[in-house]
Structure formats: structure tokens, C-alpha cells
Copies of this chain bind each other. A is one copy, B any other.
């Protein structure tokens, strides 16, 4: 019987691959999840491109970002980003650090990132910009030292998204699904905002709208709908897509995912059934 930790590993590996499949992460960037039963730990993959991450790649870290077990593989050098935010923000359950191409122009120009539609409102009311030079002078721009991570966490403050000058973004969530949702729709909103900025005369959501629309879209309904969508898209790309529930053609084949493990033969069987 899979434990809560097993399930968390499967979920986090999937979030890695979803964020890669939707263009938020590439060879770099990472996403973490607070440990499901021990809030003083978090889960993060060993160092590898997120599109490739599988449950067995997921390791445990304490909030000082030290691995619980002696590592046998390379670790992400920037994991303090995760540890320091989990430390500073007990309600944060997941953190993603990324370099989505659409947010970089904001990181370079300092133009304020603003929600331009209701889904973008999930980025939060304010998106601060952290400049590593302010406290640390010239660096390689990576957030590697605990004090760098802590400084970034302070810049994030009570918000959900923070931009890193000349580097990327870091995003939190009260759940992994919320964090993924925020990343994807913030990146999409950024592209829309760039074009709106270029056309001029641009009017974003006002604060009350951001608050209302952000809240509305982070309820379970929209979040689950989006997660199912991204998850099926990933399954299609990975060749593990089975029929969707809710269609008599397909109703029979609801995947009982324990992971890929148990379902592989079942998947094949389901597929055969559907074809008859």
C-alpha cells in the first residue's frame, strides 16, 4: 500500500513534468513540495531536467536544505530557495523556481508585472522584484547561500510571486496544484501583458478585481479542471493516455493510478477493452 510519502513523490514528479510540458521549465528550474506528514521537511528532485523527473528521483530535505539521507546523486545548487521560503511561510506547501521566457522581459526591464485577465490574477496583488545586487553585489546570479535564499524569501514577503532581477521567478502555493496553476497562468499573462504594453493604453485589473478573480480561480473547481487538463496533455505526450472518465466509451477505464507501476498492465487491458 503506497504511503502518503509515496503519493507525494508521484504527484511532485508529475508536477515537474507538467511544468516542463507547458513550457514553464526547461533544462533548469525546479519545483518542491512540503513533506506530507513532517512540515519541517520538503521534497525536491535530484538535479535533473524537470521533464525527466520520476518518483524515485525525489529526495527529502530539511528546511536548511540539507538532504536527510546522504545523497548519491547531484543536488540542485539553488535548493535554498525552497528551504528558506518553507521556513518563512508555514502556509506555503509548494514552491517553483523558473525562467519562463515570457517573464524574463519583466526581470530585465523592471516593468511591473500585472494581471491582465482573471486567470492572471492568481499571481497575486503584488509581484515584488528582488535584485541580488542590492545585498550581495555581483554574483553568478544563482541563489545558493542560505542568506541569499532568506533574502529572496523576505522579498517575497506575504506575496505569492517574486521576480529575480536578470534571472527568473519564484512562486509559492498553498498546494502543489495551486503553485502549478499560478506558474502557468502567470507566464501566459506575462506574454499578454508584453503585447498590451507594446500597444500602449493598457488597463490591468484593479486591486479588488485581482483579489476576487484570484480567489475565484484558486477554488478546487478551476484548479482541478486545469490539473486534469495538463495531466492528460502530459499523458498524451508520454504515451500513457487512457480514455477519459465521463464518456461511456471511456467510462470503464478510469485510471486507478497508484503510479505507472500497477497501472501499466491495466492500462494495456483498458485500452484493449476500449477498442472492442
Contact = CB atoms under 8 A, between A and B. Distances in A.
Nearest to A253: B259
A228 B237 CA distance: 18
Interface in A239-276: 244, 246-256, 258-264, 275-276
A118 interface: yes
Contacts of A206: 138
Contact of A247 (B56, B107, B201): B56
Interface residues of A, number: 96
A157 interface: no
B139 A109 contact: no
Contact of A56 (B48, B108, B229, B248): B248
A90 to B, nearest CB: 27
A156 B179 CA distance: 36
B194 A195 contact: yes
A252 B54 CA distance: 13
B166 A229 contact: no
Contacts of A155: none
Interface stretch (A33-41, A62-70, A211-219): A211-219
Interface string A90-109: 00000000010100110111
A203 interface: yes
Copies in the complex: 4
Contact of A250 (B54, B199, B204, B276): B54
Interface in A99-133: 99, 101, 104-105, 107-111, 116-119, 121
A3 B67 CA distance: 40
A200 B111 CA distance: 9
Nearest to A272: B258
B247 A204 contact: no
Contacts of A258: 253, 256, 275
A140 B120 CA distance: 12
Interface of A: 10, 26-28, 46-49, 51-52, 54-57, 73-74, 77, 99, 101, 104-105, 107-111, 116-119, 121, 138-142, 165-168, 188, 191-206, 208-209, 212-213, 215-217, 221-222, 225-226, 228-230, 232-233, 236-237, 244, 246-256, 258-264, 275-276
